[in-house]
Amino acid sequence: MGIFKKISHHADVMDRMAETMGADFASRIQADPAVAYQYRSAVMRCSSCKHDAECSVWMDHHSSASQTPRYCRNKDLLEALSEH
């Protein structure tokens, strides 16, 4: 997988996990543009995660959650931004 395709894929994974957690990055970024840097860093952390397949299965079984899987490299950020 090329680097741009990989980053795009993990941006999609991050968006899906954020939605599952009730974390709305778009509105957070509008309110505080510095959150865009947090989002970019989160996508990069996600792209180096070894649990991609497990993460997709976990999200398939959780339409909503208050906690990410323990292996999530963005656990702290997503849980802090969560509205659950």
pLDDT tens for residues 36-68? Answer: 999 999 999 999 999 999 999 999 999 999 999
Mean model confidence pLDDT for the chain: 93
pTM of the model: 0.88
Task: State which residues form the domain around 13.
Answer: 3-81
Look at residue 84 and tell me whether its pLDDT is greater than 80.
no
Task: Please state the φ and ψ torsions of residue 68, each to the nearest 5 degrees.
Answer: -80, 170
The whole-number average pLDDT for the span 68-84 is 91
Domain count, the chain: 1
pLDDT at 78: 94
Structure tokens at 3: 């680097």
